[in-house]
Chains A and B, each alone.
Chain A
Amino acid sequence: MKTAYIIQGFRTAVGKAPKGVFRFKRSDELAAETIKHLLKAVPQLEVSRIDDVMVGCAMPEGAQGLNMGRLISLMGLNTIDVPGVTVNRFCSSGLETIAMATAKIASGMADCIIAGGAESMSSVPMGGYKPELNYDSVKAGHEDYYWGMGTTAEAVANKYSISREDQDLFSFNSHQKALKAIKDGIFKQDIVPITVNQTYIDASGKRNEKSYIVDTEEGPRADTSLEVLAKLRPVFAQGGSVTAGNSSQMSDGAAFVLVMSEAMVKELNLEPIARLVSYVPVGVEPSLMGIGPMVAIPKALKRAGLDLKDINLIELNEAFASQSLAVMRGLKLNPDIVNVNGGAIAMGHPLGCTGAKLSVQIFNELRRRKQKYGIVTMCVGTGQGAAGIYELLS
């Protein structure tokens, strides 16, 4: 087996959906601009030597349909030579593509792949435009195949006795950590500034244009407090504990990394930043979707031949505070190394992009801390989980 290296990675800031800063920016545009930025950082690489563009997307239809991966390649690389593919494993799609790229290169099927994810939840609704559920499965009692994620979050909160107070505190901390990270400029080097052009009807009823640059997370709220969070009403169950405040935000964003074979790294004289040591997706009970990482992390560690105590940093996607806490308690994760710069409750969760976005974040944070091993992990719809273990190289 050959070794595949990650050379560089970037992401956009994350905008709120459906009424945030990227609401008139399509996900193919966010992706193309991120890729252009990525290639600028690796001037030695000729575009034609890229073997594939792999894009994770959880709702690949509508504005994200028609194999967005190929369209992003055309829009971002200024050549017809590089193909593109769209990959979907819901919330781990952006990590899945990095794993697939790594595997292809390791097996000798490719030398250079752009992998990541892009999602505009502003443009495609959760569940897609025309969901058509299998009546026979449902009638046979498998409604949980299609449950909304919030319903599963309530189920996890109930099964693992995660209190409302704990969920709200976790969420409050997510905001505080994210705000501090932004203030300290932690994300500066990850983020590709995106120019958004808006054509609109102004107060006088006339067509008008304006543009602005987005380079900062839109989600974190300085004005939130435990009191405010405590007042929010549960949205998925009467008497439940999951609120808009302790769930991840709907978001828009894109993130990509460049994965390369050892041979090409040497030829171009590049310095890799990391490698993906192992990646596993797993299946769990669909109604308890949120516990996915509880199964995925041990399995990924085992494949990597590592122990939890070897891990320096964890990016655990905060789909919901209830499932994040259930996973952290279930695996006895050290809270001090989990989501040190805040998570999706504060910054958002652009579904198919998230795996790649968290990867970009963890590379930079590991480097800042001069540490070696990091895990990116998330729960995945319809009862799945995924975890990837990175080793920082420089």
Chain B
Amino acid sequence: MKKRTINKVAVIGSGIMGSGIACHFANIGVEVLLLDIAPRELTDQEKAKGLTLNDAVVKNRLVNMHFGNALKSKPSPIYHESFARRIKTGNTTDDMAKIADANWIIEVVVERLDIKKLVFEQIEKYRTPGTLITSNTSGIPIKFMNEGRSADFQQHFAVTHFFNPPRYLKLFEVVPGPACSPEVTSFLMNYGEKFLGKTAVLAKDTPAFIGNRIGVFGIMNLFHVVNELGLSVEEVDKLTGPIIGRPKSATFRTVDVVGLDTLVHTSNGVHDNAPNDEMHNTFKIPDFINKMMENQWLGSKTNQGFYKSTTNKEGKREILVLDLKTMEYRAANPVNFATLGMTKTIDKVIDRYKVLVTGKDKAGDFYRKTLAAMFQYASNRVPEICDDLHAIDAAMKAGFGWDFGPFEIWDSIGVEKGIELMKVEAYKPNAWVNEMLTSGQTSFYTVKEGAKYYYNINKKQQEKIPGQDAFIILDNIREAKTIWSNADASIQHLGDGVLNVEFRSKMNTIGAGVIEAINKGIDLAEKEYSSVIIGNQAPNFTVGANLAMVFMLAVEQEYDELNYAIKAFQDTVMRLRYSSIPTIVAPQGMTLGGGCEMTLHADMVVAAAESYIGLVEFGVGLLPGGAGTKEMALRAAATFKEGDVQLNSLRQHFLPIAMAKVSTSAYEAFDVNILQKGKDIVVVNRDRQLATAKRYAIQMVENGYTRPIKQQVKVLGKQALGMFLVGTDAMEKGFYISEHDKKIGNKIAYVMSGGDLSEPTYVSEQYLLDIEREAFLSLLTERKTLERIEYTLKTGKPLRN
């Protein structure tokens, strides 16, 4: 069979989703043609300029406006601003013929069948047979969209449902139409996962597919439970937030962000199109929601929903909540439930559920009621909306930011125990659940030899979840593959001699335990294994050094101990580069401070596209003291060319540190020389990151790893220092930075210039490390630095003093 390649995609419809999808294809290197309709009327401005409806600027006004707004939106839909050049815009009047050379045409127009059918008619007219056509509809049945289309069209037609924002939300639902060829389905699933970096989930053509069907049921059911139990908005958000592994925005705040009208629209869709749903009435909009719709309290877009941001008498911002009894806004009350108190000591969220459902208060009632309803609902949806139960869990995790899906939660409570809960609430599981239990299988999932298995209801037995061979999931292998561990980190053998050092300290902060583990990993690799990866699958790679420890030692003036600790960190980071084995660092999520310094020193970096990397020490009154400042001086020196103004390059390497710049993607990290072309790579799908790193590690070993040579670094000394000092002084005089900022900036400049040497000089890395450490320690003797650290430890925010 001919291999299908995607070089160019046409996206028809440039609204928020259309532009977002276009940007994400640009993110993965695909050329995009983004089209929208030509406007029917001129704006006053266009009239004033004497333009007509036939002028190209007018014809492309809508698409260019939508696309321009998308590029300006935050967080950015695009990994790197230069990637926007992969997108060409046009209008459906003039440019439809250009879809002939697109390998894939994606329809993202308004959710109206009549309009979609017109678009498909046009697409059929111009597309090349054999190319893919997909719709991003969130609910229009495929059989209607197929009406009147050719056989070739229908064979290549499916729904590919992205979630907003397409770059950030991982869920990608693939819904093949009745005539869609298996080749197309499997291509879309594979492409979605491997190239788009998504969690591709195979869904059936049923109302709202998987994510929205289950997710909206959860919210609608909760609306009813809230009434029944008399819970407040802030109580529900406390109960359904991080405490159970869901986003901080929990339930009501999430609805505010998404828009109440969107929720109501989806719920109505299910209500109208799934008349046989056993929970049909749950999708009926309750009175208080109708009232909110009437009042246009739709959430962020109308500035009030379940929450409302106001300014109080003192001029401070205050968030009010909607009182569902009075339908008036009031200040939020503190939320206290004994049930929640019981989970305080349980760090692993998955272990909390079985405790929460035993609660004796309203919170306990809430969990029992909502989980029981969810268990019944989810079990009844297999095989209606998808054949495999893992698809439901995957969709909820990828699309709604849940850490655990319904079946995983159910497993954590115990399947039988879950059924007991259901009985009390007059719910019951689908017959296949009882069948499973009767056959002696007591859970939906099992982990065997590092692989995860699920209960397949057709085969009535546990089957390996497909696709995971491309992944290394630490949760699945940790138990079997850990060869060493301490309280803060563990080392797993990933096979083929490749070790992985995983942090597991709080927030993955770097302290003595992590340092010990990295050294142990390198020791082991040098003696018995072959290579070391530093990688983990927590939300963030690491937020940096253990500041609390640094603060304590500084306050107690234990400078010798601090010096020792920082030296140990520098030495460890240097070992990443100069050990005799290859090392790979795999950053993802926030990779700050010390995490960035590790990234800078690995032999190779395999970064997740969603990596937010930076040297942020400036914010807490410090400079990068774990070889980061040294390394940026070294990288600047590497760019020095005879005859160039070398100071300019040095300044470019200085500014990201002095501005505590954090990249908004791995690609941006190349701009500030934290990642380096030719050495470091980016992986779009985070799930593939460790497997990819492992492949590279093996390759580096196989190729005969050569340890890099220690470098002599050209520093500019006084030649550069004067300029830096005047620069920070001007910033201070302009009130852009404080006096203390200036002091820190000047210390960074001092280290990066190699001190006040009389002429440009070649120095050793160790010389730079020593002055870096000295500067770091001297800042720790400053009251204002300690104030900054203390403030950040307390509030999580930087203090400008």
Contacts and interface: CB of A to CB of B under 8 A. Distances in A.
A151 B734 contact: yes
B647 interface: yes
B564 interface: no
Interface of A: 129-139, 143, 146-148, 151, 154-155, 236-240
B735 A134 contact: no
Most interface-central of A129, A133, A134, A151 (chain B CB within 10 A): A133
B736 to A, nearest CB: 5
Interface stretch (B144-152, B375-383, B715-723): B715-723
A146 B721 CA distance: 13
15 contacts: A130-B647, A131-B647, A132-B719, A133-B725, A135-B721, A146-B722, A147-B729, A148-B730, A151-B730, A154-B733, A155-B733, A236-B734, A237-B734, A238-B736, A239-B735
B726 interface: yes
Contacts of B487: none
Given A135-B718, A135-B756, A143-B725, A130 B645 contact: yes
Given A147-B733, A238-B735, A138 B645 contact: no
Contact of B734 (A139, A146, A238): A238
Interface string B621-646: 00000000000000000000000010
Interface in B698-738: 718-719, 721-723, 725-726, 729-730, 733-736
Nearest to B746: A139
Nearest to B721: A135
Given A135-B756, A148-B730, 12 more contacts: A130-B645, A132-B723, A133-B723, A134-B722, A138-B721, A138-B722, A138-B726, A146-B722, A147-B729, A151-B734, A154-B734, A237-B734
Contacts of B734: 151, 154, 236-238, 240
A135 B722 contact: yes
Contacts of A139: 721, 725
B725 A147 contact: no
Most interface-central of A134, A135, A139, A239 (chain B CB within 10 A): A135
B751 to A, nearest CB: 15
Contacts of A151: 730, 733-734
Given A129-B645, A130-B645, A238-B736, A135 B725 contact: yes
B753 to A, nearest CB: 9
A62 to B, nearest CB: 11
B705 to A, nearest CB: 41
A133 B733 contact: no
A256 to B, nearest CB: 32
Contacts of A138: 721-722, 725-726, 729
A133 B722 contact: yes
A138 B720 CA distance: 12
Contacts of B722: 132-135, 137-138, 146
A236 B735 CA distance: 9
Nearest to B735: A238
A148 B730 CA distance: 7
Contacts of A148: 730
Most interface-central of B645, B723, B733 (chain A CB within 10 A): B733
A143 B733 CA distance: 11
Contacts of B736: 237-238
A134 B719 CA distance: 8
Nearest to B742: A143
A322 B195 CA distance: 57
Contacts of A240: 734-735
A233 B721 CA distance: 30
Contacts of A131: 647, 723
Interface in B403-446: none
Nearest to A143: B729
B738 to A, nearest CB: 11
Nearest to B646: A130
B597 to A, nearest CB: 28
A148 B733 CA distance: 11
A88 B645 CA distance: 23
A326 B735 CA distance: 22
Nearest to A242: B734
A254 to B, nearest CB: 27
A151 B730 CA distance: 7
Nearest to A136: B718
A148 B734 CA distance: 11
Contacts of A238: 734-736
A54 to B, nearest CB: 30
Given A129-B645, A130-B647, A239-B735, A147 B730 contact: yes
A264 to B, nearest CB: 46
Nearest to B722: A133
Nearest to B717: A135
A237 B735 contact: yes
A237 B733 contact: yes
Nearest to B732: A143
Nearest to A139: B725
A130 B734 CA distance: 24
Contacts of B729: 138, 143, 147
Interface in B643-685: 645, 647
A365 to B, nearest CB: 37
Contacts of B645: 129-130
A136 B717 CA distance: 12
A147 B734 CA distance: 11
A138 B723 CA distance: 9
Contacts of A143: 725-726, 729-730
A147 B726 CA distance: 7
Nearest to A235: B734
A193 to B, nearest CB: 32
Q: Which 6 A-B pairs have the closest CB atoms?
A: A133-B722, A237-B734, A143-B729, A135-B722, A135-B718, A238-B735
Contacts of A136: 718
A138 B735 CA distance: 19
A323 B735 CA distance: 20
B57 to A, nearest CB: 15
Most interface-central of B722, B726, B734 (chain A CB within 10 A): B726
Contacts of A146: 722, 726
Contacts of A154: 733-734
Contacts of B719: 132
Contacts of B723: 131-133
Given A154-B734, A237-B735, A238-B735, A133 B726 contact: yes
A241 to B, nearest CB: 12
A238 B736 CA distance: 6
Contacts of B733: 147, 151, 154-155, 237
Contacts of A237: 733-736
A163 B481 CA distance: 71
Nearest to B725: A138
A137 B721 CA distance: 11
B714 to A, nearest CB: 16
Nearest to B728: A143
A137 B726 CA distance: 11
B114 to A, nearest CB: 40
A137 B723 CA distance: 11
A293 B177 CA distance: 82
A116 B647 CA distance: 33
B162 to A, nearest CB: 36
A81 B195 CA distance: 72
Contacts of A155: 733
Interface string B747-791: 000000000100000000000000000000000000000000000
Contacts of B756: 135
B483 to A, nearest CB: 53
A135 B730 CA distance: 15
B530 to A, nearest CB: 48
A135 B725 CA distance: 8
B437 to A, nearest CB: 67
A377 B594 CA distance: 56
Nearest to B736: A238
